[in-house]
């Protein structure tokens, strides 16, 4: 840390991402919820085509991607905001809606980026514990705050609340309510179906998971026009580059490939859930592309993660109270499930 850094950040400050090994050799990455399949083959072609025009700035509103997303969701283009990943959309929500010192509410446990953003924007981070079934507590909606975040399906738990129930749990919530649906394509339904009834809802999506484009960095928000104009007013000048716009359009147009990714995740998620349960693990029901599971005693989550790492399998352990007994394991393809189960089984018997 330099002596110039803002004092309020401190030297241990920063978001801690899952490990990305430098050598791809032999690693099975089940730690950052990436897609089990590669992106549509049409993406590489589209990106190469866009590269020819890189001497020109891209569309500041990520057109024609924005209009395509609007068409897919049955809303106007002015109801869509596209940015450099869902993370940047979340960042723009803090920029647009929270004054320094304001309370910003999120559930806990949830996506660990929120407290980091709270510190960057000098707001008060208010974490309201979820109920064991993943529902929001009454205090969540009642808290006096201009901005609150719900992650649904939630990470790291994988728990999901149906849109109508979520509506009930959010009743009376003042300010802007952001529903982060990074994993919604793997769940039975989306809050987008209820958006027109809520002038203060912002639904956030990403192409990192169900479109296998984590490396391209494309996320977006869908909301009422006035909220989107708020986000537009605080955005970077050109948040999405030409290659990302073209690649995202190609991925969305390849509906068959997208369906294959979603199908693979749902199938392997059920297999992983059942097989781990059979091995004595406590696995939370998940509607995301990962499971959150506790190994049977006397094995501890930390030990299991360390031994899996020796077998070149990465899973995610969160060293935080209430969740440190579990591992978040991304759902892979069938070969990945086989390899993980074999390694876990060997540990139990070895």
Ligand X SMILES: Cc1ncc(COP(=O)(O)O)c(C=O)c1O
In the complex, which residues of this chain contact ligand X (CB under 6 A)? 33, 85-87, 111, 151, 155, 180, 182, 206, 208, 214, 219
CB of 124: closest distance to ligand X in angstroms? 21
CB of 219: closest distance to ligand X in angstroms? 4
SS3 per residue for 41-81 = HHHHHHHHHHHCCCCCCCCCCCCCHHHHHHHHHCCCHHHEE
Dmax over CA atoms of the chain, in Å, equals: 59
- By beta-carbon distance, which residue lies closest to ligand X? 85
Helices marked H in the chain: 41-51, 65-73, 86-97, 113-120, 138-142, 163-169, 225-234, 242-253, 255-278, 301-310, 334-349
Between helices 334-349 and 301-310, what is the axis angle to 10°? 120
SS3 category, 281: coil
Residue (86 or 340) nearer to ligand X, CB: 86
CB of 148: closest distance to ligand X in angstroms? 14
CB of 108: closest distance to ligand X in angstroms? 13
Residue (145 or 207) nearer to ligand X, CB: 207
Residue (34 or 268) nearer to ligand X, CB: 34
Residue (305 or 344) nearer to ligand X, CB: 305
CB of 127: closest distance to ligand X in angstroms? 15
Residue (86 or 145) nearer to ligand X, CB: 86
């Amino acid at each position: 840390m330099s002596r110039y850094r803002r004092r309020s950040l401190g030297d241990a400050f920063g978001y801690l991402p899952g490990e990305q090994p430098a050598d791809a050799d032999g690693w099975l990455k089940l730690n950052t919820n990436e897609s089990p399949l590669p992106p549509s083959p049409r993406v590489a072609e589209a990106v190469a085509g866009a590269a020819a025009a890189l001497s020109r700035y891209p569309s500041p509103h990520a057109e024609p991607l924005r209009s395509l997303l609007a068409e897919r969701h049955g809303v106007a283009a002015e109801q869509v905001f596209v940015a450099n990943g869902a993370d940047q959309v979340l960042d723009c929500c803090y920029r647009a809606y929270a004054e320094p010192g304001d309370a910003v509410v999120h559930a806990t446990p949830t996506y660990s980026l929120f407290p980091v953003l709270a510190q960057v924007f000098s707001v008060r981070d208010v974490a309201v514990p979820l109920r064991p079934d993943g529902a929001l507590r009454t205090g969540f909606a009642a808290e006096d705050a201009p901005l609150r975040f719900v992650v649904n399906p939630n990470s790291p738990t994988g728990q999901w609340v149906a849109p109508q129930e979520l509506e009930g749990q959010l009743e009376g919530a003042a300010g802007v309510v952001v529903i982060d649906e990074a994993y919604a394509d793997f769940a039975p339904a989306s809050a987008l179906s209820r958006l027109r009834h809520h002038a203060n809802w912002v639904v956030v999506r990403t192409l990192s998971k169900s479109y296998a484009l984590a490396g391209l960095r494309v996320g977006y928000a869908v909301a009422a026009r006035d909220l989107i104009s708020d986000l537009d007013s605080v955005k970077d000048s050109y948040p999405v580059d030409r290659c990302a716009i073209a690649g995202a359009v190609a991925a969305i147009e390849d509906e068959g490939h997208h369906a294959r990714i979603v199908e693979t995740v749902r199938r392997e998620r059920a297999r992983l859930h059942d097989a781990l349960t059979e091995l004595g693990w406590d696995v939370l029901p998940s509607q995301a592309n990962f499971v959150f599971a506790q190994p049977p005693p006397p094995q501890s989550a930390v030990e299991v993660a360390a031994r899996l790492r020796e077998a070149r399998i990465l899973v995610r352990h969160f060293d935080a109270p209430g969740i440190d007994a579990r591992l978040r394991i991304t759902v892979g393809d069938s070969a990945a499930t086989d390899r993980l189960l074999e390694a876990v089984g060997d540990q139990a018997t070895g």
